[in-house]
Structure 1
């Protein structure tokens, strides 16, 4: 903590004007009105409608909905397609089984009459029924070998050579098909299975038809290798079908494309945000959005943003130039009038009280006009800085120390003690001159109200997310009913018996400029009367631009 007597340049007289002497300026285009330091406004009844509109316009919410649709759609469609395939599979299986049953009925007389000579033409009979590409195989299980599960390969179409029969039976046995055939004989029930041959050819065993005979059990199997049946899901899970796999590949490609589009949009928006941050920090030149943009469809948007930045910079320069021109234009005639009054003042007799009073009124009005010109110039320059000045990390602690040195002279003249309680490394991201203006206006206001021999306490504390500045004085305080209006433009609340106030009054813009700068930086400002007398102004700013 440091205590010292300091002084500074004469106060600009901010926060003491009761009414504006010039036509009111239009409302600021950079800061919207707010109830700072007073009662917070009640939320509007339509707040929930605005929240719904924001949710409806949210890209994140739409992306989540799109992802949910991408997840739910294949599940729903798969169930529908599987149900349709199941119906088609049942129809195909039933048709093939009926056809196989008809073939079995046609062969039954030769197989059940016990005439072995008639069985010599079984290969020719099977060939007649397999002209459409169906592979028919006829096997026989003698009644005495039923429990052994042994079968004899009797005939087939197309015909199999004798040296291939053993290999065919071994293959059927290894794949468990003979057991299925044996079960069909035992239970007299048809069946269907799918299997792959040793050479890689896929065969669809669509039906196993048992034929009872006196000497044993005959089994007719019909196998199909045509694409008409291989494209069905008979004998395998539906997701293994070619249609589902092709659809899954197409769906995944669409999902990847949609994801890439969403990521591209997000990256483009983030790129625009980064460019805006760099512009606000003064680290990038003209046409930055166009140079950084990589999405052709956003080129027009980037050009519009660049034009907007260019227009803002041009407006800022014009505001600054106009402020200097207007101040110069007003100060010159005011100085001329003041100089012209000197001969008149010397010519007025000492006993002419009325003339002397008139000269005092003219002097007071001239000083008030000069204060208004200075306040208007400061306001315009501050507005220009809000528009264009880059936001850079600023050591608030050092600025408070510099402000104390700036006011050293006037504090010493009024015998006011300034106590500083400052935390180190209070870093705030702000434009050049914005925090200096805040400190100057707040300290000027405290000094103008402090009595001779009073104390002003400046406290600067650093929290995890904010930097808090508090300025306490020992002045008369403010009527509690007027505190909500303290930070409005042209507001003044200075007691009539205030002996410390300069005769010219003030412009009533200082604390309004403070509020505007603080809110532009994302902070808050408030005021309250101290318990022992005096006023306390508190300012909260995001730490390091957080």
Structure 2
């Protein structure tokens, strides 16, 4: 029968969850820790790259200005030396060195080379003077290194083109120098070349020779930025880990492992301890509520059963006394049916209260579902044989799940009894337990008429029954809570239950639990 009493309708177990609107999904995705973590990582990666590219472009402009200034200084030095070079002789060689020393700054190095008239190729160049002054042997070695590096090969035979070549080479003392420019000058003695270079050990030379990321200020900024990023990510992950710990603790409590720990002991973040304590207080209050519901269900059932038993016992002499009075006998029969129905209502109310308590405080532990199915089906096979029904079952040797044996025994009883109610004489109830892909699957099949498609999505709701009123035996009560209790007990331990009509007739109910 279908009751018109108010009830709470859960999400259909066969139709699936209703698709959320796109705006709701986007909003949830935006609020997700994973989305914000990805955004945070993208910001931490993109910001320094964007800033670095801008600073590198500015540094390149600065380096270009320094190079131009240094080249210009080399050109000015070369023009200043032109009178001495045009009149160069052994007597003026000393004056050339002194003049170079006065003209160059502390960071710029000037070297003067001569290719005598008629000479060709890089081997024909000879060092004449240098500033700062260095030994003659040093100049010879440096000349050889310049020849090996191919720098002198860039000088043209015409000796009339300034070469703003930027080349890096290692001088005889083992230090790197940056060759900035080579300014050729023509005289009667031959082709003079004034070479301008910077030491990379100096600040200016290093800024021109090394990539921008090697600059000390860039490395210092990068170190500070990495420290800041690690601190922020550490804070983020610490909070995320604490929330995941809360979720794991909640799953443990929902699985029925009472006393397995507390939220406060789970978190290492001091700011979340007060939140964790509130969760612990809430869990304690839920346990107390579940215990109170169980106690009230037991007390109420006992309180109602006593007067009902008195009524039923007192009715027997009345039935014998009114045997000859048809009207009185009919009234006594109605009283007996009402008493039977009232007792069934008390039992149903107790079962509903116990199911509600299980939803709040499921007492779960590792158990062998295969052993429970075999025991229950063996007992029902014997009891239903008198009604002309067969019970066939198949199970693996062992299937371990985390649940409450009493609650799952009630699930099996309700499913088998429901199948027996709808099965015709000579029908067969098939129970099959399998384990695959980390899930235990319990399927119960019957040979009954099935469920109307309009009711199929509601059979796990409270007070829902698709049994026609004409099928009810007088005095027998069906309140439509059996499958509702199945649904409650299964979902209380993390399982799921679905139902569908079989093509060859009958109903198929599938229960799935995670295995351990």
Alignment of 1:232-251 (within 5 A): 232=207, 234-251=208-225
1:539 alignment partner, one of 502, 510, 516: 510
Kindly provide the CA deviation profile for residues 31-82 of structure 1, in whole angstroms up to 9, marking residues without a partner as x. Answer: x612345xx27945x5322332232233233333444444444544443333
Structure 1 pair 154/448, CA: closer, same or farther in 2 (3 Å)?
closer
Match of 1:510 in 2: 482
Deviates most, 313-322 or 295-304:
295-304
Q: Any idea what SS the aligned residue of 1:149 has? A: helix
Q: Is the 8 A contact 1:181 1:208 kept in 2?
A: no
Which structure 2 residue ranges, 5 or more long, are not aligned? none
Which structure 1 residue ranges, 5 or more long, are not aligned? 1-16
Alignment of 1:154-165 (within 5 A): 154-160=128-134, 164-165=135-136
Q: CA deviation at 1:281?
A: 4.5
Q: Any idea what SS the aligned residue of 1:108 has? A: helix
C-alpha distance in 2 between matches for 1:379 and 1:259 = 48
Residue 338 of structure 1 pairs with residue 312 of structure 2: yes
The alignment's C-alpha RMSD in Å is 3.3
Q: Any idea what SS the aligned residue of 1:294 has? A: coil
Residue 414 of structure 1 pairs with residue 391 of structure 2: no
Deviates most, 171-180 or 76-85:
171-180
C-alpha distance in 1 between matches for 2:459 and 2:150 = 98
Q: Is the 8 A contact 2:419 2:429 kept in 1?
A: no
Q: Is the 8 A contact 2:370 2:396 kept in 1?
A: yes
Residue 456 of structure 1 pairs with residue 415 of structure 2: no
Match of 1:19 in 2: 3
Alignment of 1:290-309 (within 5 A): 290-309=264-283
C-alpha distance in 1 between matches for 2:120 and 2:328 = 144
C-alpha distance in 2 between matches for 1:331 and 1:410 = 26
Q: Is the 8 A contact 2:432 2:442 kept in 1?
A: yes
C-alpha distance in 1 between matches for 2:98 and 2:446 = 120
C-alpha distance in 1 between matches for 2:75 and 2:452 = 106
C-alpha distance in 1 between matches for 2:360 and 2:349 = 17
The TM-score normalised by the length of structure 1 is: 0.81
C-alpha distance in 2 between matches for 1:254 and 1:337 = 80
Alignment of 1:75-86 (within 5 A): 75-86=49-60
C-alpha distance in 2 between matches for 1:244 and 1:503 = 89
C-alpha distance in 2 between matches for 1:49 and 1:117 = 91
**Structure with higher RCO (Cα < 8 A, 6+ apart):** 1
Q: Is the 8 A contact 2:429 2:447 kept in 1?
A: no
Q: Any idea what SS the aligned residue of 1:433 has? A: helix
Runs of 4+ residues deviating >6 angstroms: none
Structure 1 pair 401/115, CA: closer, same or farther in 2 (3 Å)?
closer
Q: Is the 8 A contact 2:179 2:196 kept in 1?
A: yes
How many corresponding residue pairs? 510
Q: CA deviation at 1:406?
A: 4.4
The TM-score normalised by the length of structure 2 is: 0.86
Residue 528 of structure 1 pairs with residue 501 of structure 2: yes
1:88 alignment partner, one of 40, 49, 62: 62
Q: CA deviation at 1:319?
A: 1.4
Residue 437 of structure 1 pairs with residue 410 of structure 2: yes
Kindly provide the CA deviation profile for residues 189-232 of structure 1, in whole angstroms up to 9, marking residues without a partner as x. Answer: 23343444444555444333222211112222334458441342
Match of 1:216 in 2: 190
Q: CA deviation at 1:285?
A: 2.2
C-alpha distance in 1 between matches for 2:513 and 2:411 = 15
Structure 1 pair 542/407, CA: closer, same or farther in 2 (3 Å)?
closer
Q: Is the 8 A contact 1:196 1:203 kept in 2?
A: yes
